[in-house]
Copies of this chain bind each other. A is one copy, B any other.
Amino acid sequence: MKAVLAGRGDFSTEGLCRSILERHRDMIRVQKPHVAVAKLARIVETILKLSNRQGFHATSLREISAESGVSMGGLYSYFDSKDTLLLMILGEVSAATTSVLEGAPGDVAADPARHLRWLIAAHVALTEAMLPWFVFAFLEAKSFPPAGRRAAVESEEATEAIFRGAIERGARQGCYAVEDPAFAAGLIKPLLQDWYVKRAKWRRRGITADEYAARVQAFVERALGADPAGPAKGGTAAR
């Protein structure tokens, strides 16, 4: 499963928090990086856990403090308001998404059909690797500060544009028989979001990430009117 993402970044909590630290060095008052990263990781892990259970707004800083073992005052060495904490996490999610989806290997990107299949597999793999982050972003982005809303919308448009690009090139080359690539791209996003938003449903049915990616690939290709003769070799592009 992880194969698609191999060597494309560190998606562990620590790795992602290192990136958060870099991005917010000026605000975070703790100097030593290894201390800051370790503590940030405990804070972020806690808030993802509690928020995904009961909502960000319903999660108090006192709860986060108690669960993470970082004092109230200590928390405020890492952010200047609860909203900032939210934006830190949202920013990391959208940065990771863009950086991964824009990084298809050259030979893959050269073939639109392969590219689209790769994008689907990479998206599923990424949301799998950063599951709680994506769930959090999805649940909280809409009901919060204007900055967060705008960022979320832009990030989603960027993702969709990448999908649209592949479909448009495929249509031009004749491997898809689709009248409106933009519309089709708009429908792919929700299909990929369902994997992490309704995770419980798919797990209950015993669907793995690889299976999900493969089936969505097949579903989308048929809907796009893919040349049945075209994608002869290997569907998944993942494992």
- Give Cα A119–Cα B189 distance, bound, in whole angstroms: 22
Interface size class of A (residues with CB under 8 A): 35 or more
- Cross-chain contact of A139 among B142, B182, B220 (Cβ < 8 A): B142
Task: Tell me if A34 is interfacial: C-beta within 8 Å of chain B.
Answer: no
Residues of B contacting A144 in the complex (Cβ-Cβ under 8 angstroms): 55
- Residue A79 is within 8 A (CB to CB) of chain B in the complex: no
The residues of A with any CB-CB pair to B shorter than 8 Å are 54-55, 57-58, 139, 142-144, 153, 180, 182-184, 186-187, 189-191, 193-194, 197-198, 200-202, 205, 207, 215-216, 219-220, 222-225
**Contact partners of A180 in chain B: CB under 8 A:** 215
Cross-chain contact A207 with B183 (CB below 8 angstroms): yes
CB–CB B187/A205 < 8 A:
no
For A153, list chain B residues within 8 Å (CB): 200
Contacts of A200 in B (CB 8 A): 153
Which residue in chain B gives the minimum CB-CB distance to A226?
B222
Bound state CA distance, A187 and B215, in angstroms? Answer: 10
29 contacts between A and B (CB under 8 A): A55-B57, A55-B143, A55-B144, A57-B57, A57-B58, A57-B143, A58-B143, A139-B142, A139-B143, A153-B200, A180-B215, A182-B205, A183-B205, A183-B207, A186-B194, A186-B198, A186-B201, A186-B202, A187-B191, A187-B219, A189-B194, A190-B190, A190-B191, A190-B193, A190-B194, A219-B223, A222-B224, A222-B225, A223-B223
